[in-house]
Chain A
Amino acid sequence: MAEKTQPEYQFQHKHIFGIEQLSVADISHILATARSFREISSRPIKKVPTLRGKTIVNLFFEPSTRTRLSFEIAAKRMSADTFNISASTSSATKGETLVDTARNIQAMNPDVIIVRHASSGAPQLLAKHIDASVINAGDGAHEHPSQGLLDMMTVFDRKGRLEGLKLAIIGDIAHSRVALSDIIGFTRMGADVYLAGPQTFIPAAVDRLGVTVCRSVEDAVRGADVVMALRIQLERQNDSLIPSLREYSRFFGISNNLLDLAKEDVIVMHPGPVNRGVELSPDVADGRRSVILDQVTNGVAVRMALLYLVLGGNKGSDVQSESR
């Protein structure tokens, strides 16, 4: 996969809004770059000077612990200066619009803005008013591209390929930006994506994205190489999307019994944080098939790669020499 990258290939994206904008060559290149960075995090001194003097702003309009920490660690391991802004979307009600915020931050000349926002499309709006690169760290129910990339990296590591794999995504697809990034990414890389969940969680016309919607979790999991469970937001119960978590876990939760329908070497993924006993039974979440912590580790490497690439880094070999 990554090895097939054409020699004349150039990474051209200034902004990362979603997997949607990335070609097969782009994805392969990002994953190859991430793989070359991963080793840095296992060194005794986990820091390279690659992005020294660069200013990276984490602009989070929604609470996040994991993603923000992962981006921050990624930036710091590359010697960039990082700043965290936890903006509240309620600032809009005080009269400050996203465009105002963008212009103010721009005036401080950052190099990269990593943004998470409850509104789909907010990163694009930000990018229109700013010179810095914008990386989407999750926008509404749209995309979460770095998560999609780290998921692809994790699967590739375990399976040696993405093409032809059967990936089952189970749960709240409709409200999940992770699901959309994974659907687009894995199908683009040639995997066969199957979805299952209560119909209230299946987005309109999602089959048009090249996936197969299954009637039951069993159908989706049968013969799967990868099973990915999505987090159920607890408030969905009040939205008449599911009657109760109890019923959800009984009919759509992933247990070891269910996984016996999958391939022998199936791996189980989850974007976290897991509601143990809801999406995954505890023995699955912590069991031998779980690669949830690999996902977290790969997240740092993927985010290092994205920062490096949007700032104009291009060749994996440069990274290696520079990092030594």
Chain B
Amino acid sequence: MKSIILLKNGRVIDPAQQRDEIADLGIIDGRVVSPDAVAEKDAEIFDIRGCWVVPGLIDMHVHLREPGEEYKETIETGCRAAAAGGFTAVACMPNTNPVNDNSAVTRYIVEKAATCAARVYPVGAISQGSKGEKLAEYGEMKLAGAVAVTDDGRPVVDSRLMRRAMEYASSHGLLVMSHAEELALSRGGCMNEGEISTRLGLRGVPAAAESIMVYREIALAELTGGRVHISHVSTAQSLVLISSAKARGVKVTAETAPHYFTLTEQAVLGYNTHAKMNPPLRTEQDRQAIRAALRDGTLDAIATDHAPHSVLQKEVEFNQAANGIVGLETSLSLSLALVREGLIGPGRLVELMSLTPARVLGVAGGSLDNGAIADVTVIDPEKRYIFSAEKGFSKGKNSPFDGWNLQGKAIYTFLAGRLSHCDI
């Protein structure tokens, strides 16, 4: 039997087609079709007056922890969290155990994900074991399904290796993603360096620890002609470098995460380990610069850096606590705030959370064009709720937004035309 769905009376927002209008959207057998092609009597009808219909959201930076740390998250639970957050696809970082530095691990992830609530695009390691010494087998990993490479969390120290990675990745058409951190400068630091770190007696990480490496990546991209994507940008300084690199045609793209445009280092006060991540939360000036860069195009994507941990890593002394927070289930609400505040329009939001991630990763999705795979998110921009980490789908409860009053939520998520999430 055919699966026929009609989304009626929604606001279809599809920047790939410069489309933003009240319209119906048809889905037949997992593909987007013109609503004219759908006979209402045969269709399952969703009346979504007042809601937005957008291409399925894509999060290009998550940690799914499997294989190796299934007590923190599994591919299945991570994908359920993704679907609940309106995501139809995620790109998962390679810092699993074992590291995703070979096609066997890549294939394991792809196979596990096949029955899950979201598409999973594995990101392979830049170097074997992410040790920063020898290149991993990019060609093999790409055949198995990898879309990019990074040594996220264990930044590549050796500039020569990073150069080789960009060159070699370009031969395989793979994106290089960089966690930009100058490790000698950040060593021992556990929050942004500044007044708050001084008041709390915590060792700081200066903004320069990020921007020095951002500049290195830009310089290497220029040297090699390769593409580089800067992960989780947190500082105003980095944005100045990225903006000027883009202006002179360097193939650099960049993402930030909702916590960097929502919170500042103030959130650490009280030694709140749920405000500890790497890079750290920065100053209000940085936060404002990130917001401006989301608007002006210096930043290309919003990604979560979803990093589930258990209480074992978080209910400890601040300097000993693990870095990272969960983000899949709060990202959309926090990003919708930018629209409500008038900083960006809904179309730009869809670019940041769907269209551009799809293009940067070179994967399907990001558009609602007829014939496209029906990864579709229906957003109720008015829906208000109190976020409860405890009730979330992710195994990780480490969210600084626990208990926050949020507005705007995915109420239906369709993965290839099948409901992967419903909150109505």
Contacts and interface: CB of A to CB of B under 8 A. Distances in A.
A142 to B, nearest CB: 3
Q: Give the one of A99, A120, A177 with max B CB within 10 A.
A: A120
Given A99-B315, A120-B202, A92 B271 contact: no
B197 A204 contact: yes
Given A99-B316, A122-B317, A208-B195, A141 B203 contact: yes
Contacts of B206: 204
Contact of B318 (A97, A121, A143): A121
A122 B202 CA distance: 12
A278 B317 CA distance: 33
Nearest to A143: B201
A142 B200 CA distance: 6
A125 B271 contact: yes
Interface in B66-115: none
A203 interface: yes
A98 B198 contact: no
A280 B197 CA distance: 29
A117 B201 CA distance: 12
Contact of A120 (B201, B312, B316): B201
B276 to A, nearest CB: 11
B192 to A, nearest CB: 9
Interface string A288-302: 000000000000000
B194 interface: yes
Contacts of B197: 203-204
A108 to B, nearest CB: 21
A98 B202 CA distance: 18
Contact of B204 (A98, A117, A119, A204): A204
Interface in B179-236: 193-195, 197-204, 206
B317 A204 contact: no
Most chain B CB within a 10 A radius of its CB, from A20, A124, A141, A177: A141
A204 B315 CA distance: 27
B320 interface: yes
Contacts, number: 69
B270 interface: yes
A24 B202 CA distance: 25
B202 A140 contact: yes
A209 B197 CA distance: 12
Contacts of B195: 204-205, 208-209
Nearest to B206: A204
A180 interface: yes
Contacts of B199: 20, 180, 209
Given A140-B319, A204-B193, A209 B198 contact: yes
Contacts of A119: 317-320
A139 interface: yes
Nearest to B188: A239
A191 interface: no
A21 to B, nearest CB: 11
B271 A121 contact: yes
B198 A204 contact: yes
A121 B194 contact: no
Contact of A98 (B193, B203, B317): B317
A132 B122 CA distance: 49
B329 to A, nearest CB: 25
A185 to B, nearest CB: 14
Interface in A160-199: 177, 180
Contacts of A143: 201
The interface centre, meaning the residue of A97, A121, A203, A209 with most chain B CB atoms within 10 A of its CB, is A121
The winner among A20, A92, A97 for most chain B CB atoms within 10 A is A97
B317 A125 contact: yes
Interface string B313-327: 001111110000000
B201 A92 contact: no
Nearest to B193: A204
A92 B316 CA distance: 10
A147 to B, nearest CB: 14
Contacts of B201: 120-121, 139-143, 177, 180
A40 interface: no
A48 interface: no
A117 B316 CA distance: 12
B316 A97 contact: yes
A206 interface: yes
Interface string A133-160: 0000001111100000000000000000
5 contacts: A97-B316, A98-B316, A125-B316, A204-B193, A209-B199
Ranked 6 nearest A-B pairs via Cβ: A142-B201, A121-B271, A119-B317, A120-B201, A141-B201, A205-B195
Interface of A: 20, 92, 97-99, 117, 119-122, 124-125, 139-143, 177, 180, 203-206, 208-209
Interface of B: 193-195, 197-204, 206, 270-271, 312, 315-320
Given A99-B316, A121-B202, 12 more contacts: A99-B315, A119-B317, A119-B318, A119-B320, A121-B271, A125-B271, A125-B315, A125-B318, A139-B201, A140-B201, A141-B202, A208-B198
